[in-house]
A and B are shown apart, each in its own frame.
Chain A
Amino acid sequence: MVEPILSTAAITKRFGALTACDAVDFDLRAGEIHALIGPNGAGKSTFIRQITGEQVPDEGEVSFDGANINALDVPRRSAAGLARTFQISSLIDDFTALENVMLAVQGHSRRSFSFFRRAANDKALTEPAMTHLTDAGLGSRANEKAASLSHGERRQLELGMALALKPKVFLMDEPMAGIGPGGSVVLTSILDGLRAQAPILLVEHDMDAVFALADRVTVLVGGKVIAHGSVDDIRSDPQVREAYLGEGA
């Protein structure tokens, strides 16, 4: 079996009496989209925050690229190749779309302490940024302020920024949240092509997107993994139907 790029071994996170994440095992292998689903309050956000480094598990281990990364903070994990998109779009609103992606290119280059050269004339920033922006389907909107982009376009911009980090893994926290059916079709096709570049951990509420994209699905309820398998396995799992899909989600 292929060694996973990203894995968690029995990670547990408690907040007082609440166990938000209870001994969760998870792995992500090259070339796949592994979706994490579950009803609200299932612990998906707590789980993903332990992967990004915003929270450290009380027990268990997060491994990335063959090493334990429990001790790495957010910028270090990002620099190591974990690129996340945010549940609620997190952009620099006063920057243009291009400047947002330039910032990500700059972060990846690890050269932020340059003081004299104009960033706007720095081809090492602008050219890759334009490429990633085009790949995310936003090439024609490069000089628009992020604040003036539509909700779906903001999602695409998030994606362009993630691409610029040349990640080994994409962490996508509800990329479809709040965008219309049209936007979700566009985004689904972009994500579909993306898995060839780097595997995707997809946390998503939109079941159509999950069933169209995922190679494997893990279902989280009350902080625990209750099912894990292919899309067909999950669709037919009675426990999942009862705990999650039965709620009409």
Chain B
Amino acid sequence: MGFKMSRERIVDLAVLLMLPAAVLWASATGETFTITLATRIAILAIAATGLNLALGNGGLVSFGHAAFFGAGGYVCGILASHAFTSEPLMTVPFLIEGTKSMPVIWLVAIVVSALLAALIGLFALRTAGVYFIMLTLAFAQMIYYFAISFPGYGGEDGLPTYVRNGFPGLNTLVPLPFFIVCFVVLALVIWLVDRFTHSRFGLALAAARQNGERLEAVGIAPFRIRYVAFILSGAITGLAGALYTDLNRFVSPSMLSWQTSGELIVFIILGGTARLFGPLLGAALFVVLENTLGGWTEHWQFFVGLILLGVVLFARGGAIAFLSGKASHHG
């Protein structure tokens, strides 16, 4: 809440422009792998920005957001595979066919993950603290094991989609146009979350995080506010899942695993909890570390752990706060 210092604004802008700058350089030098990395960062940043709405702004530490990420991923995979084989998903009671259109897939991914969040939230939000963490994890694990054991869509082996889905007017198989699509979606999501968090709804959500009793006393039921935040959060992470399947042209149960939920939380903590651009910076740091340290040692996650420890101990508020020169904005 309140007013951000201009230095944080400059940091925010720099973080946002770092991806297109890297892609511009990569296009000039023909480094297509860098474009793919930047796309991966953008997509993971969308997922973590979604989670940050619940976790950072709402104080709802969901350890089950992989459920929404995977749900969006499977929506994309299933619709695309049916379009590939020309077999409809269902004919009774009405006909649903597969599709290769990204906008249609995104819409379905958003609706499906929002419904899933509505269901999970209904139970999980009755609890708080460690019980909330465990319940969200439990729901995500249920879905994970279902995906592994259900043979219809590849089961444990995952489901390839062969061809990347299409966006009107763009050749999405070329890395650059697909990056642009993902980056524009990321920018829109960040803009949307910024609006949410500064609206009346955002005021009530921040109040629910800090003092639910006080919120009740002014006549606002914290559950309803948290529930809507959780659904919006799940829907955004689901949208990212659909893009992630398109990036890899493959979806597997690993998208639904608890490690995925954990990584999303790591992005947020690295970048800065409840900071608008924190998840983007966190995802970028993580992916870059994965690719630089990963080429050097297979135990790269050890170093990510060390850095995470350093952030938690010495730079509360994450990398954004560190760069903005104020490390305890969010207490």
Give Cα A119 to B201, complex, Å: 9
> Complex: how many Å from CA A94 to CA B331?
8
Q: Is the CB of B199 within 8 A of A114?
A: yes
B216 at the interface (CB under 8 A from A): yes
Contact (Cβ within 8 A) B1 A90: no
A104 touches B218 (CB 8 A): yes
Is there an interface contact between A78 and B204, defined as CB atoms closer than 8 Å? no
Expressed in whole angstroms, the minimum distance between the Cβ of A74 and any Cβ of chain B is: 4
Interfacial chain B residues near A106, Cβ < 8 Å: 200, 203-204, 218, 220
Distance of B229 from chain A, by nearest CB (Å): 10
B210 touches A93 (CB 8 A): yes
Residues from chain B with Cβ under 8 Å of A99 in the complex:
1-2, 203
Task: Give the distance in Å from the alpha carbon of A168 to the alpha carbon of B33 in the complex.
Answer: 66
Q: Is B217 an interface residue, CB under 8 A from the partner? A: yes
Q: Which of B179-234 contact A (CB under 8 A)?
A: 195-196, 198-204, 206-207, 210-211, 213-221, 224-225, 228
Is A220 interfacial (CB 8 A cutoff)? no
A15 interface residue per 8 A CB criterion: no
Give every chain A residue within 8 A of B204 (Cβ-Cβ).
Answer: 103, 106, 112
Option from A74, A91, A111, A113 in Cβ contact (under 8 Å) with B211: A91
Q: List B contacts of A96 (CB < 8 A).
A: 1-2
- Least CB distance, B53 to chain A, in whole angstroms: 11
Residue tally, chain A, CB below 8 Å to B: 41
- Whether A165 contacts B216 in the complex (CB less than 8 A), given A95-B206, A102-B203, A116-B195, comes out as no
Contacts of B219 in A (CB 8 A): 75-76, 78-79, 107-108, 110, 165
B220 pairs with A75, CB closer than 8 A? yes
Docked CA distance A228–B219 (Å): 32
The interface centre, meaning the residue of A108, A118, A125 with most chain B CB atoms within 10 A of its CB, is: A118
A115 with B1, Cβ < 8 A, contacts A78-B217, A78-B219 known: no
Is B206 in contact with A92, judged by CB distance below 8 angstroms? Answer: yes
When chains A and B are docked, how far (Å) is the Cα of A83 from the Cα of B100? 56
**A9 touches B (CB below 8 Å):** no
Which residues on the A side are within 8 Å of B225 (C-beta)? 112
Interface SS majority for chain B: helix
Q: Which residue of A lies closest to B228 (CB)?
A: A113
Chain B residues positioned under 8 Å from A94 (CB to CB):
1, 206, 210, 330-331
A122 within 8 Å of B by Cβ? yes
Does A117 interact with chain B (Cβ within 8 Å)? yes
Q: Does A84 contact B (CB under 8 A)?
A: yes
* Complex contacts, A90 vs chain B, CB 8 Å: 211, 213-214, 217
B206 touches A112 (CB 8 A): no
Whether the Cβ atoms of B221 and A75 lie closer than 8 Å is yes
Task: Specify which chain A residues have a CB less than 8 angstroms from the CB of B203 in the assembled complex.
Answer: 99, 102-103, 106, 119
With contact pairs A90-B213, A92-B206, A103-B207 given, residues A117 and B1 touching in the complex (Cβ less than 8 Å): no
In whole Å, how far is A130's beta carbon from the nearest beta carbon of chain B? 16
Provide the bound-state CA to CA distance between A118 and B199, in Å: 5
Q: How far is the CA of A90 from the CA of B228 in the complex (A)?
A: 24
Nearest B-chain residue to A112, judged by Cβ: B204
**What separation, in Å, do the CA atoms of A3 and B240 have in the docked complex?**
60
| CB atoms of A92 and B217 under 8 A apart | no
Taking CB atoms and an 8 Å cut-off, the chain A residues in 165-218 that contact chain B are: 165
Instruction: Type the 1/0 row for A216-248, where 1 means its CB is closer than 8 Å to any CB of B.
Output: 000000000000000000000000000000000
The 8 A CB mask of A77-101 against B (1 = contact, 0 = none) is 0110001101000111111100100
A78 to B213, CA, bound (A): 12
Question: Which residues of B sit under 8 angstroms from A93, Cβ to Cβ?
Answer: 210-211, 331
Which chain A residues border B199 with CB–CB below 8 Å? 114-119
The residue from B198, B215, B330 contacting A103, defined by CB atoms under 8 A apart:
B215
Beyond A115-B201, A119-B198, whether A108 also contacts B218 by CB under 8 A is yes
Q: Can you offer 25 A-B residue contacts whose CB atoms are under 8 A?
A: A73-B221, A75-B220, A76-B219, A78-B216, A78-B218, A84-B217, A86-B214, A92-B206, A92-B211, A93-B210, A94-B331, A96-B1, A99-B1, A106-B220, A108-B218, A110-B219, A112-B200, A113-B201, A113-B228, A117-B199, A117-B200, A119-B199, A122-B200, A164-B218, A165-B219
Q: Considering the complex of A and B, which 4 residue pairs feature the smallest CB-CB distances, nearest first? A: A107-B218, A79-B219, A78-B219, A107-B219
Apart from A90-B211, A108-B219, list 19 A-B contacts with CB within 8 A.
Answer: A75-B216, A75-B219, A75-B221, A83-B217, A92-B207, A93-B331, A96-B2, A103-B203, A103-B215, A106-B200, A106-B218, A107-B219, A107-B220, A112-B201, A115-B195, A116-B195, A119-B198, A164-B218, A165-B218
